[in-house]
Amino acid sequence: MNNPRMPSNVPDFVTSHLRQYLDTGGEEGHLWDSTGMGDHGGIPTLLLTTIGRSSGQGIVTPLIYGKAGDAYVVVASKGGAPVNPHWYLNLDANPEVEVQVMTEQFKARARTATGEERAGLWDLMVSIYPTYTQLQGKTEREIPVVVLEKD
């Protein structure tokens, strides 16, 4: 997925965070400061590159992540919107993705967790970013939890 493009129609803070991550090759941007108060730890983020359903181009998106064994876990919250984010629709159409965690880049296969697995992974992700609970309360859809397994 050479030269992926940034997602369109995202808030400026997402674009800024993504640029920092990409421009430094992952040396900076791994820990996202959700408070805007400077680097006081932060929330771990990875870069997920999916193939656009219509464009066929790679699209890179920064996402909060957790770890479950060797797999990475992300949440398709879209701020509690009534529809799933474009990156989720893209990986639903083509689960072959690329992932960058700090400076490490690898190919992975994405799948949506269900049932008890989803419940456990949801709890993991809420422990990392408690705001997910509020976002779930804003929408009637069950927010997908996605597992990214290295190829």
Q: What is the predicted pLDDT for the residue at 29?
A: 82
CA 135 vs CA 57, 88, 128: distances in Å? 29, 16, 14
Lowest mean pLDDT across 13-22, 40-49, 68-77, 84-93: 13-22
Share of the chain above pLDDT 70, in %: 89
| Least reliable range by pLDDT among 27-36, 53-62, 67-76 | 27-36
0.85 exceeded by pTM: yes
Q: Write the pLDDT tens digit of every residue in 94-149.
A: 999 999 999 999 999 999 999 999 999 999 999 999 999 999 999 999 999 999 99
Question: Domain map of the chain by residue range?
Answer: 12-150
Sign of CA dihedral 85, 87, 91, 97: negative
pLDDT score recorded for residue 36:
52
More confident residue, 115 or 26: 115
% of the chain exceeding 90 in pLDDT = 70
Average predicted confidence (pLDDT) for the chain? 89
Check if CATH label 2.30.110.10 holds for domain 12-150: yes
Quote the pLDDT of residue 38. 47
